[in-house]
Amino acid sequence: MRLIEGPSGVWYLGPGGTLLMPRRFHRQGALTDEGRAELEKSQIGTPRSRRHYSLTVVTSSACNLGCPYCFQNTGVAAPGRFDPPRIPKRVLDVPMIERIIDFTTGRLADGGYDRLFVLLFGGEPLLNRAGCRELLVRLGRLAPVSASMVTNGVLLRPRVAKELESAGLKSAQITFDGPRELHDALRATRSGRGTFDTIIENLVAVQRETDLRLTLRLNTTAEGLPLLDDLIRGLAERLNPQRCFLDIAPVLNYADLYQDVLARSSGEVDTILAGYATALECGFEVAWPSGGACGFCGERDGATGAVINADGTLYSCWETIGKDGYEVGSIEDGYQPYPPQRWVSCGEFATEAAAPSASKAFDDALTVGLLELLRARRREQAVARA
């Protein structure tokens, strides 16, 4: 639950959605009695009933790119090279898929779930394209599946996309690090080749030949932030923005290996919000900030979801996959006793250069600014329809 003051009032972000309330409902960081009554009336503070179980499954922990800021790197690349050392290589095979089916069967029964949300993850999941498809097909025999994939897009050719769409894939997230020159300097192959043009060509073909929804994640560094508007307008020229969600994500300093992160200043907030305004102007969809718990790591020990490496090891969230000392069990033995600090939730694994108070102020300012922007956009659309 979060309470953030904005120009239009006090925003409440909770498990049931977002609610804008008058400032009089908020005093000294907490809701007044009147505010609590309004919240109870709206039912925004009540978690929505969950019918699906969430699975993140790594099909291949290897990657064909050498991004210097990747949270799965274990060190920096040698000078002149593009292949930083990574977490151990693991590949999902059919026997492990069968064990994942057994594990998931128990989880569905325990929680009374009747459907699955599956996130195909890596490394680069399409380095094991057969594993991706086999996993979706077999899980689909267990319960109705809606699936998404986090991929760098280099191998997301239309034939591959159509094959996975037929097995239950609904959407894919692809990352850009800036316009071509900057992107190719950061998101190069492990031999140093740029990837921007390949990814764009793949996405154009995927939109032409499938119904997949795309989420474009724009990774933002200190160097890339001034180029954000150019990147968004360039993507809108090549792709159909009405079939894309767009998310702007400041790069984090994982394991203290990458330093070109944002200072988390108010000026940077303004630039990111201007980028979101450009995205909306271009026709991209932008998701409302959420206060709900993550289905994978929001509750401990797999109550609502699980994160599974290709070797069957369980982790709390995608940030710690393959990291030594962050295992929380296995699909054969279930969740095992572990130190409390080993359960890491989204965003907690990064080493922030800014003080915690500065990071919170940055996150709050960005969240409330986006909420205000989307609210204004919704009101404009309502006026236009009237």
Share of the chain above pLDDT 70, in %: 98
pLDDT for res 48 = 74
| Average confidence (pLDDT) over 56-60 | 98
Confidence band for 351, pLDDT divided at 50, 70 and 90: low
Contact yes or no for 219/177 (Cβ under 8 A): yes
Phi then psi for residue 311, to 5 deg, are -95, 5
Which residue would you say has higher pLDDT here, 355 or 367?
367
Give the domains, in start order, of the chain with CATH numbers. Answer: 2-47 (no CATH), 52-293+347-380 (3.20.20.70)
pLDDT at 8: 95
pLDDT at 355 over 70: no
* Per-residue pLDDT at 353: 47
Binned at pLDDT 50, 70 and 90, residue 271 comes out as: very high
CA–CA separation, 126 and 150 (whole Å): 9
Enumerate residues 6+ apart whose C-beta is below 8 A from 377. 280
Position 163 pLDDT exceeds 90: yes
For the cut 70, the answer to whether the pLDDT of residue 82 exceeds it is yes
Q: In what order do the strands lie in the sheet with 169-176?
A: 244-250, 213-220, 169-176, 145-150, 115-122, 52-60, 305-308, 313-315, 329-330, 334-335
Query: Residue 354's pLDDT band (boundaries 50, 70, 90)?
Result: low
pLDDT of the residue at 193: 98
- Closest Cα partner for 67 from 254, 344, 268, 310? 254
DSSP-based three-state secondary structure for 276: helix
Q: What is the mean pLDDT of the chain?
A: 94
Q: Which of 46-50, 258-262, 276-280, 301-305 has the lowest mean pLDDT?
A: 46-50
The average pLDDT across 47-72 equals: 93
Q: Model confidence at 161, in pLDDT bands (50, 70, 90)?
A: very high
Summarised one tens digit per residue, pLDDT across range 228-252 is 999 999 999 999 999 999 999 999 8
- Number of other CB atoms surrounding residue 233 within 10 Å: 14
pLDDT at 179 over 60: yes
Nearest to 186 by CA among 215, 227, 147: 227
Give pLDDT, residue 182. 97
pLDDT of residue 77 exceeding 80, the answer is yes
Per-residue pLDDT, 290:
84
**Predicted pLDDT of residue 49:** 74
The DSSP string of 331-356 is: TTTEE----GGG-PPTT-SB--SS-H
Q: What is the pLDDT of residue 369?
A: 97
Q: Give pLDDT tens digits for 311-321.
A: 999 999 999 99
Q: Assess whether pLDDT exceeds 80 at residue 162.
A: yes
Length of the chain: 386
**pLDDT(352) > 70:** no
The predicted pLDDT at position 252 comes to: 87
Weakest mean pLDDT among 149-158, 314-323, 355-364: 355-364
* 316-332 mean pLDDT: 95
